[in-house]
Chains A and B, each alone.
Chain A
Amino acid sequence: MTDLPDDTGVPAPEGPSDLIDTDYSIGQDNIEGSVGPFGFDIHNPVFAISGLSVVAFVFYALALPEQAEEIFGALRPWLTSTFDWFFLSAANVFVLFCLALIVLPVGKVRLGGTDATPDYSYIGWFAMLFAAGMGIGLMFFGVLEPAYYFGTPWGDEPLGLVRPFDENGNLIAANVDEARRMALAATSFHWALHPWAIYAVVALALALFSYNKGLPLSIRSAFYPLLGERVWGWWGHVIDVIAVFATLFGLATSLGFGATQANAGLEHIYGLPNNVTVQVLLITGITAIALVSVLRGLDGGVKVLSEINMGLAFALLLFVLFAAGAMTILSEFGRGLVAYVQEVVPLSMPFGREDDGYRQGWTAFYWAWWISWSPFVGMFIARVSRGRTVREFVTCVLLIPSLVCIFWMAVFGGAAINDMVANGADSMVKANVIDNYVPELSLFAMLEGLPLSGITSTLGIVLVIVFFVTSSDSGSLVIDTITAGGKIDAPVPQRVFWCIFEGAVAIALLIGGGLGSLQAMVISTGLPFTIVLLIMCWAIYKGLSAEPR
């Protein structure tokens, strides 16, 4: 809460900004009323179309699972193999654009006006950025991805990676260092500058057009420079509906898969049964905690949980760092960072490469994935970033999370690769990633090679669950804001509705099947959104140029 201390009620101005002169009044298309005793304030027609189309797609996936699987299952590989050059090129544009914003004079523009002050401390801000942005991915892929690239026998090794195992699975000592270097670089590539540039573009566009231009906090607002007043009509409705759709299905399918992963972990460690009942209970539990969080609000719920999560993740990071040998891992980080810097340009090249398996199956997939999540994460980052200058914003959203991710990958990936090198055929990591591909157990397999694995694995499961809660609560806030026409003070029952709806969709898809096909469909929204993001870059530059610095 920010006090505006002035007895006259006219507080000191936040400084001049270039407001957009539009006749549109926020909430003018909203319908207010009540369902029984519960009030609502929703955008017409975005709320209804989003809700109904989600229900329609869930019914479709449940009624015709094979057809849905066939269509959406084929859509994703087709997109990533046909448009890999487009995803790679666009992501490079986003990185270059963000780097340019750091050095160009427009970097001085402050989000919220020249005299605005940041709402959150750096710690609270970073915690929320991470928890919403990629927390759960770091838990899932931190071990899996480096270990996979290091030992993949499936021909999708990254550019120029020399295989460290021969055909019989025996280690080729001479190749280990180079394979390790490339595996860490190729992993970091997917978690550093490029994804954070994608988030930064969306977040900056939303923050700029909302805080500085006075437009509603909604995806459509970033299109005002292109569409003008038409942005309040069907063009805008379509953009917002796709954003809600991608966010809700992205969260629901992740929640469904997350429950199966957490269940696999619980079975592995405690011998709990691995079945749909346990998974439904997990989703219900996660949704219930997320519900408490959204009811406690941004400061009392989402921020607190994000900070707890960061604390736990940091504790696990430190444990793995010291248990796996701090000096070795720190030098791993140094080497990983150097390797990333050396390889980021070759790995970013959209053309003239022969590593199709990696480039299309991993990189293009990741880029589509990050982009499909960007409306949600970008909007959430925008919501908590008022008061930062553009330079500070881009530096903090792009460079610092990138370094943290590279460090995380060096610690978890480094420990996993060390396990594979030291234990050879007996390595639990190798057994669960290379010999049998059981990705959900990769983290626990690595932790088993370290002391106190019972405690750390439990911590790992707690982290996975709480990261889901922080995605679920922030996602509910974002969906509620978009479907309320950019209002963040819509009646509380609405955010409760979205939180429960998301859990219900996850449970329906888990029981009836269809998680995979709908997740594939969400990732497919990455293609239209890539075009949306490219337009956003242009809109940001145009918007920033008109701002007083």
Chain B
Amino acid sequence: MYTHIMVPVDLAHADRLPRALETAALLGRAAQAKVTYVGVTAETPTGLGHNPDEYADRLAQFAQEQGEQHGITTAARAYASHDPAIDLNDTLLKAADDLEADCIVIASHIPNVADHLWPSHGGAVARRAKASVFVVR
């Protein structure tokens, strides 16, 4: 059904991801699709790495662990952004195009009033992506 599943991940808040990761793994196994974990980092040092390279290493390790844990084929793709707080949605959409992903599994929070001002990333990606999008709450 799907050949390439993209899973946006925020490694700083990996504790909020399990349901989305499980969903992606289920789909990946069922469709025998490759699952690529996409992360967006700042170019300045962050808590996840001194520079984008260290972040990319960490993301690759995360992808490998997911692959071993769920028995699926995984990869990782890191993007560095000038202003990740704002550029995130555009970067994820670009990643989906770059990867030619035909499915996106993205974790999102339960909608609240703030979404009227700042729509959730999951919602924004679902609205604009060409691929199928699973928004996991």
Chain A contacts to B: CB under 8 angstroms: 1-11, 13-14, 17, 19, 25-28, 36-39, 112-113, 119, 210-211, 214-217, 295-300, 383-384, 386, 486-493, 495
Contacts and interface: CB of A to CB of B under 8 A. Distances in A.
Contacts of A112: 43, 51
B76 A2 contact: no
A217 to B, nearest CB: 4
A111 B98 CA distance: 28
B123 interface: no
A454 to B, nearest CB: 38
A489 B80 CA distance: 12
Contact of B44 (A11, A19, A486): A486
Interface in B33-60: 37, 42-47, 50-53, 56-57, 59-60
Nearest to B112: A37
Contacts of B51: 14, 17, 112-113, 211, 214
Given A37-B113, A119-B43, A490-B85, 9 more contacts: A4-B77, A9-B56, A9-B60, A11-B78, A38-B114, A211-B45, A211-B51, A486-B44, A488-B83
A270 B7 CA distance: 57
Contacts of B37: 9
A380 to B, nearest CB: 12
Nearest to A207: B44
A489 B85 contact: yes
Contact of A217 (B44, B57, B83, B90): B44
23 contacts: A1-B91, A2-B52, A2-B79, A6-B56, A9-B63, A9-B78, A10-B53, A10-B60, A14-B51, A19-B50, A26-B45, A26-B47, A28-B47, A112-B51, A211-B43, A214-B45, A216-B45, A297-B87, A299-B83, A486-B45, A487-B42, A488-B83, A489-B84
A312 to B, nearest CB: 24
B85 A37 contact: no
B86 A296 contact: yes
B128 to A, nearest CB: 15
A362 B36 CA distance: 60
Nearest to B12: A27
A258 B57 CA distance: 48
Interface in B63-84: 63, 75-84
Interface of B: 12, 37, 42-47, 50-53, 56-57, 59-60, 63, 75-87, 90-91, 94, 98, 112-115, 118
Contacts of B44: 210-211, 216-217, 383, 486, 488
B10 to A, nearest CB: 9
A31 to B, nearest CB: 14
A4 B78 contact: yes
Contact of B87 (A1, A6, A295, A383): A1
Contact of A3 (B12, B45, B82, B98): B98
B86 A1 contact: no
Contact of A1 (B60, B81, B114): B81
B86 A8 contact: no
Nearest to B51: A14
Given A1-B94, A14-B53, A25-B47, A8 B76 contact: yes
Contacts of B98: 3, 5
A357 B99 CA distance: 66
Contacts of A4: 52, 56, 77-80
A340 B46 CA distance: 44
B66 to A, nearest CB: 12
Contact of A299 (B46, B56, B82, B94): B82
Nearest to A27: B47
A219 to B, nearest CB: 14
Contacts of B83: 297-299, 488
Contacts of A296: 86
A3 B79 contact: yes
A8 B81 CA distance: 18
B51 to A, nearest CB: 6
Nearest to B116: A37
B45 A217 contact: yes
- Of A1, A19, A36, A113, the most chain B CB neighbours within 10 A belong to A1
A119 to B, nearest CB: 6
A2 B53 contact: no
Nearest to A7: B75
A43 to B, nearest CB: 12
B45 A8 contact: no
Report, nearest first, the 4 A-B pairs whose CB atoms are least far apart.
A9-B76, A297-B86, A214-B50, A37-B114
Residue among A13, A296, A493 with most chain B CB within 10 A: A13
A210 B82 CA distance: 14
A3 B12 CA distance: 20
Nearest to B37: A9
A8 B75 CA distance: 6
A15 to B, nearest CB: 9
Contacts of B78: 4, 9, 11
A486 to B, nearest CB: 7
Nearest to B118: A492
Contact of B77 (A9, A113, A383): A9
A492 B86 contact: yes
B129 to A, nearest CB: 17
A493 B78 CA distance: 25
A300 B45 CA distance: 22
A215 B43 contact: no
A491 B56 contact: no
Contact of A295 (B47, B59, B77, B86): B86
A113 B113 CA distance: 43
Contact of A298 (B82, B90, B114): B82
B46 A489 contact: yes
A489 B46 CA distance: 9
Contacts of A214: 45, 50-51
Contacts of A9: 37, 56, 59-60, 63, 75-78
Nearest to B59: A9
B46 A6 contact: no
B52 A14 contact: yes
B56 A10 contact: yes
